[in-house]
Chains A and B, each alone.
Chain A
């Protein structure tokens, strides 16, 4: 099964299309992968991704008519995804569900065990790193580093000043490289 190639720089427009169903189609088709990866990066376990993504797009469907395009669609979507992820994690903590296996991406169940081993290893390392960050740094890492959004977009999505975003980015990058160095050694 093929993975979706990330395309963070793709324009995510279409929100101002006159046809609401077309607007939803555009938002969904252009940003489904973005939302999915954001949810994963924010700590939603793979087994809950379907539910979480569904929740995000149900909110999108309901609120799309009120979306004025004052922010970029991805900024808006990230705000929804962040709340959905937080709620999923809260519920999971309350239920004390089973611990998530380290590598449990559905793709790995379909493809051969070695085909994605290196991708899975990298993803596991990034997941472990993200789990050690506080929420603010994790969100910034997901948007700026994983999704490669522009810093003004990141600052807008996180509602922080641009300079603060740059400062946090430098720190979180340094932390990532330090963690990687420890892992390698």
Chain B
């Protein structure tokens, strides 16, 4: 069935299937949400309740009340002096942009919610998440110190960049990003994700050092990883047809 055959219901079914996420996406997003929750990161979305009008109104109210208090204090002292300037710390300095990240809400407004590993409505392409991921998820559920949260954010940003580079067909760039991450955060939280992305990038470049299949190495280390299917496919494909960016090379025979 092709679009040219013109069956609307079949086309819609196929479009739904093409746009449906895989298990790796569900696990990836879930891990990112967990890490952000643990790190106390702000929500970069305008979907949150718009806080700036409330803040502006509150700041204006504070200004009026403070100004009035200053005036009447001076009047009561027999001196008509201008009230002291009021610093509006709550009001945004520039017109707010609904697309801008919403600042973190006070801790009192956040929902303390330990997160569990996903049992997603998706069919995993590989076995279920590995047990060490459970441990990591439990760690994220606990309150993370500020330093750890910062490292997590760095890891997440770097992994996203590497993933995008891979999708853009630039595994060399992905590896450069990951090497940089190794220097910045040598012992991070997202070990499995880092190794999976590194393996994918190396396989995409056609690397096969000493005839060792990098995919086999990864699956031996993470036999139940959610990335197993993707790694196996990428590394198996490398044997047949190396792909990747202009820096791709094959070190094997």
- Name A residues whose Cβ lies closer than 8 Å to a Cβ of B: 1-7, 10, 20-22, 24-25, 28-33, 36-37, 40-41, 47, 49-51, 53-59, 61-65, 79-84, 86-87, 90-91, 94, 104-107, 109-111, 116, 118-123, 125-127, 145-146, 176-177, 180-181, 183-184
Main secondary structure of the interface of A (DSSP, over half): helix
Our pick among A21, A30, A65 for the contact of B121 (Cβ within 8 Å) is: A30
A24 close to B113 (CB less than 8 A): yes
- Name B residues whose Cβ lies closer than 8 Å to a Cβ of A: 1-6, 8, 10-26, 28-30, 32-33, 36-37, 41, 43-48, 98-99, 105, 109-111, 113-116, 118-125, 160, 163-164, 166-167, 229-230, 233-234
Contacts of B24 in A (CB 8 A): 1
B18 close to A116 (CB less than 8 A): yes
A59 close to B47 (CB less than 8 A): yes
Contacts of A1 in B (CB 8 A): 22-24, 125, 229-230, 233
In the complex, how many angstroms separate the beta carbon of A175 from the nearest chain B beta carbon?
11
B110 close to A29 (CB less than 8 A): no
Contacts of B116 in A (CB 8 A): 21-22, 25
B19 close to A37 (CB less than 8 A): yes
A118 close to B120 (CB less than 8 A): no
Q: How many A-B residue pairs have CB under 8 A?
A: 219
Contacts of B114 in A (CB 8 A): 21
Q: Identify 26 residue pairs between A and B in the complex whose beta-carbon atoms are under 8 Å apart, listed by A's number.
A: A1-B125, A3-B21, A4-B26, A4-B121, A4-B123, A21-B116, A25-B118, A28-B30, A32-B121, A40-B19, A50-B25, A50-B28, A50-B29, A55-B44, A56-B45, A57-B30, A61-B37, A62-B110, A64-B111, A107-B18, A107-B22, A110-B233, A121-B14, A123-B14, A125-B15, A184-B6
B17 close to A55 (CB less than 8 A): no
B118 close to A29 (CB less than 8 A): yes
A84 close to B121 (CB less than 8 A): no
Contacts of B110 in A (CB 8 A): 62
B21 close to A36 (CB less than 8 A): yes
C-alpha spacing A4/B120, complex, angstroms: 10
Contact A181 to B11, CB < 8 A, known contacts A3-B20, A123-B18: no
C-alpha spacing A176/B116, complex, angstroms: 41
Of A40, A55, A145, chain B has the most CB atoms within 10 Å of the CB of A55
C-alpha spacing A24/B166, complex, angstroms: 31
In the complex, how many angstroms separate the beta carbon of B42 from the nearest chain A beta carbon?
9
C-alpha spacing A3/B44, complex, angstroms: 28
C-alpha spacing A95/B158, complex, angstroms: 20
Q: Which residue of B lies closest to A180 (CB)?
A: B6
B12 close to A146 (CB less than 8 A): yes
A54 close to B18 (CB less than 8 A): no
Contacts of A33 in B (CB 8 A): 20-21, 26, 121-122
A87 close to B18 (CB less than 8 A): no
In the complex, how many angstroms separate the beta carbon of A125 from the nearest chain B beta carbon?
5
Contacts of B11 in A (CB 8 A): 122, 125-126, 180
B16 close to A28 (CB less than 8 A): no
Contacts of A61 in B (CB 8 A): 33, 37, 111, 113, 115
Besides the known contacts A36-B19, A61-B113, A123-B14, 6 further A-B residue pairs in the complex with CB atoms under 8 A apart = A2-B23, A36-B20, A63-B48, A145-B12, A180-B11, A181-B6
Contacts of A37 in B (CB 8 A): 16, 19-21
Of B1, B46, B160, chain A has the most CB atoms within 10 Å of the CB of B46
A83 close to B14 (CB less than 8 A): no
B46 close to A87 (CB less than 8 A): yes
Contacts of A84 in B (CB 8 A): 45-47
C-alpha spacing A90/B46, complex, angstroms: 11
Contacts of B15 in A (CB 8 A): 119, 122-123, 125-127, 146
C-alpha spacing A80/B109, complex, angstroms: 18
In the complex, how many angstroms separate the beta carbon of A33 from the nearest chain B beta carbon?
5
A32 close to B29 (CB less than 8 A): yes
